[in-house]
Amino acid sequence: MKYREMFRIEHNSRLKLDKIDPNFKDKHEDKNSAEAETAEHVDKMRELQYLLYAEGKRSLLVCLQALDAAGKDGTINNVLGAMNPQGCKVYGFKVPSKEELAHDFLWRIHARTPGKGEVVIFNRSHYESVLVERVHNLVPKETWSERYDLINEFERGLVANGTHIIKLFLHISADEQLLRFKQRIDDPARHWKISDSDYSERKLWNDYQEAYEDAISKTSTMHAPWYVIPSNHKWFRNLAVSDIIVDTLKSLDMEYPAPTVDIERIRQQYHVAQKEQKS
């Protein structure tokens, strides 16, 4: 079974994260058995991104959401980073600026959505407005509870304009998160990632789990599905994400555009230039 089918959250279903094993690794025993397959996916993904760019008719938006240390940056570096930067952009959404807060919550998001032929990756996204703002009571319940419908309509509009949307929640356990926090402490190269909020946010683990369950259940639609990726094993996370992206791009049945010039005339010009170069 393809991971695109296995990890997709069906429309109108009720997600319970404690029913999904973050340690799941399918048939693979360790990273050695998965990395060769991941490498094949990454090569294919690069080829399909080139085709998407050349065709210039559609675009791809990948939304990455996760709790701290679940691997958003690692997914971008090890999987999505293989794409040609000429046609791929990454945007991170942190605390809204004063200007952004003066507009509706989707204003800053819409400006970063992909144009035709592009791939855009959101490292966090418009879903922060029904996650962080909900958990920390930054806006009233009547405000964030209405945003699910607004998000669905926003995404429907993107799809109608030719944007295909993949939403990925990287699912780790509380024990795995604590282990990764320790790795940040032990590795000087990761010290820059440490913040006081790592542990203060961890105290809200159950609240975040509930917020994610509601957000994913209410916004996993036919046109913009959510995928919950077991991510305790980073190598399996990379395999699953690369498989889903490749499978999605293949399903678009893209074609190279017809040439805009007379190929035979250009070929003749080439042969003339070649003879002149030799003489």
Q: Which of 72-76, 114-118, 128-132, 272-276 has the lowest average pLDDT?
A: 272-276
pLDDT at residue 45 is higher than 80:
yes
Rg of the chain over Cα atoms, rounded to whole angstroms, equals 21
Query: What is the per-residue pLDDT across 67-107, written as a single tens digit (0 to 9) for each?
Result: 999 999 999 999 999 999 999 999 999 999 999 999 999 99
Distance CA 66, CA 64 (A): 7
CB 259 within 8 A of CB 70: no
Q: What is the pLDDT at residue 179?
A: 94
270 compared with 159, residue with greater pLDDT: 159
Q: What is the dihedral of CA 28, 209, 144, 138, to 10 degrees?
A: -120
Q: What pLDDT digit, counting tens, does each position of 243-271 carry?
A: 999 999 999 999 999 988 888 998 998 88
pTM: 0.94
The number of angstroms, rounded, from the C-alpha of 159 to the middle of its chain's C-alpha atoms is 16
Query: Which pLDDT value is given to residue 120?
Result: 98
Q: Where residue 1 falls among pLDDT bands split at 50, 70, 90? A: low
Q: Which domains does the chain have, with CATH numbers?
A: 3-278 (3.40.50.300)
Number of H helices, E strands in the chain: 13, 6
Give backbone dihedrals phi and psi of 12, rounded to 5 degrees, phi first: 70, 15
Tens-place pLDDT, residues 100-123: 999 999 999 999 999 999 999 999
Which residue in 20, 27, 10, 71 sits closest to 241, CA to CA? 71
